[in-house]
Homo-oligomer: A and B are copies of this chain.
Amino acid sequence: MEQKVWEETGGAGDERRKRMSVGLCVSCPPDIKQSVDKTLEYGYHFVVTQLTHPNYTRDADDDDPAPIGRTDRVLKSSEWGRLIVAQINSKVDLDSEVEHIGRKSRVILEREFGFAAHLGVPAVMITLNKPNNTQLGRFLCEKLVGGLPYSVWVNVPMIHPSRYSPLADQEYDTWDWWNEFQTCCDYDRRCGLVLDLCDVKHLCVEKELKRWIGEPVKALVVPTSFFLINQHGKPVLSRLHQDIIKKFMSLDVQYIIKNDTECDLALYVRYLNYLGKKLFVRDTMTEFVQGFEDFLQNPLQPLTEHLETTIYEIFEKDGVKYDAYYKAVLKAVQSINPDQVPVVMVVGAGRGPLVQAVLNVSIVLDRKLKIYAVEKNPYAVNTLVHRCKHEWDGRVTLIKEDMRTYKPPEQADILVSELLGSFGDNELSPECLDGAQRFLKKTGITIPQAYTSYLAPLQSTKIFNEIRQNRPLDKSLQVIYETPYVAHLANFYQISPPQALFTFTHPNWGEDPSNRRYKKLSFRAEQNCLLTGLAGYFDTKLYGDVGLSIHPDTHTRDMVSWFPIVFALQSPVQVERDQTIEVSFWRTESGDKVWYEWCLHSPVKTRIFNSCGKSYSIRKH
């Protein structure tokens, strides 16, 4: 969660709208103090402007530390520090082939970067004008390694004019410029992207837009000339532009109005604030994920670590999930001979939500069920004891044991469990249900009946950086990149559709009860992109046609229990259009643990990650 250039102080604000942070591009104002005051008065939150007053000569002479420009005392340091994004002279060209231009550019850049540090501005904005920016990248690297105290905003257009100009002899893709540049800078999180919004006549195609959303976009530049005038004479954006802005909203980008027409500037910020209200979708999912965007969590280890009250409470809030379980149990019970009293065992009962679902089935069907609740966490058992006595009126038999060792007095018709993780089998549902199968009748039903994991190639430098940045002192880079994380993906691009990986079905009376798996998957990249890892999803068939899914294309509506899982790569891999991304993936085990290993075969070969589960594994005991 990053700090914004400008941040509204105090209060949670109105949650029914997205708070829009809007800056104004002010080119060389004669009096910066006055200009800032006026811009704030219009309702803007920050100003993008040059630090160097145009009255001062720009001639760079190595020997003369000449006056730089404005004096620092024209604004308070808190104003420099919150309100000003420093725009670097766009004529600077460090990568010029003319030697003296490169040399002069370096002097100017050194000075402007130094002055920006002196003033304490929150961000500096530089523009990429051409494909090759290696010298600029090297310059920036030097600053980043030296400990740059501000962010660097790298400005490119979403679409380069050459893409639609009949005169251009070459078509440029500005994503390539940016990608090469950020690669030079090792994807440093202080480098963000500022995109010039594309013109309605030359819109970004869908896949390119999606790829931009996988980048660390800090701001969108909107020229006033893009606004239409509505029937009330007010500037508004076209539906097409609104659609683009809506897509970027999940990234919490800021907006920069670039005034290229004569107009009342207050109207634009007011309009963007209005869009913050109009375009903001507020549903169960949006509400739930707020603040969790790209936030890394470690997958649970429910077999070795007792879950806590907060976790149980979050689980239990997902009505959609338990409703599906209720329906599955209902159908399963109905499939059993009506003369019989079905024995239903909830294995891993927690604080009892599945037990309650089973009881509801019994009530709705008006049918007697013999219900067992098996739970090993003594603190959850404590709650179950209470519920058995005070809520369930003795209708549930409580078993304080591990389902894998429990010796039941009778066999079950239905086994119900909720051991699924974000990747399906990653909380050892296969091992647990295979273990519990001992006390399932040969004709018995397991809920879930089956589940499948899915993988998709992922581009997200955000996730790549989150992993790097949150490294605990006692872990190596290798360990943290070989560990999977659960995260609500927001700032990402899914390079290609997910493909099915491993499927498990229950009960598993087959001869080979092994839960080891191996599969090789091939994905095609439809455009140049950056592979930073793999996103994992799952779906499950609970019973019959009742299922749950977090696969992006079939996601169960309003279900919030699971975020995707991410398997990272320690170094991002450049992928070109039409290249194949070929991945091998293993699920393997030893006596006391289960783990995954993975490697790439193409576009580059990599070592096998997490070999022997040395960095991450799921413990059985």
Contacts and interface: CB of A to CB of B under 8 A. Distances in A.
Interface of A: 10-12, 65, 67-69, 71-73, 76-77, 80-81, 111, 114-115, 117-120, 306, 308-310, 312-313, 351, 377-383, 385-387, 400, 471, 473
Contact of A72 (B81, B114, B118, B309): B309
Contacts of A383: 71-73
Contacts of A115: 379, 382
B68 A382 contact: yes
B309 A119 contact: yes
16 contacts: A10-B11, A71-B385, A71-B386, A72-B309, A72-B379, A72-B382, A73-B351, A80-B309, A111-B378, A114-B306, A115-B382, A117-B308, A119-B309, A120-B308, A120-B309, A120-B310
What are the 8 tightest A-B residue pairs by CB atom distance, in nearest-first order? Answer: A118-B379, A65-B378, A71-B386, A77-B310, A77-B309, A77-B313, A71-B383, A72-B309
A15 to B, nearest CB: 14
Contacts of A77: 308-310, 312-313
A310 B378 contact: no
Contacts of A312: 72, 77
Contacts of A386: 67, 71, 73
Contacts of A68: 378-379, 382
A81 B309 CA distance: 10
Contact of A67 (B71, B382, B473): B382
A118 B309 contact: yes
Nearest to A477: B473
Q: How many protomers of this protein does the assembly include?
A: 2
A76 B379 contact: no
Contact of A310 (B69, B81, B381): B81
A306 B72 contact: no
A351 B119 CA distance: 13
A307 to B, nearest CB: 8
Given A69-B382, A118-B377, A118-B380, 13 more contacts: A67-B381, A68-B382, A71-B385, A71-B387, A72-B379, A72-B382, A80-B309, A111-B378, A115-B379, A117-B308, A118-B306, A118-B308, A119-B379
Nearest to A386: B71
Contacts of A11: 10-11
Contacts of A471: 473
Contacts of A118: 306, 308-309, 377, 379-380
A400 B10 contact: no
A69 B69 CA distance: 71
A350 B55 CA distance: 24
A77 B383 CA distance: 13
Contacts of A80: 309
Contacts of A400: 65
Contacts of A120: 308-310
A72 to B, nearest CB: 5
A313 B76 contact: yes
Contacts of A71: 382-383, 385-387
A379 B112 CA distance: 10
Contacts of A12: 10
A380 B120 CA distance: 13
A120 B385 CA distance: 20
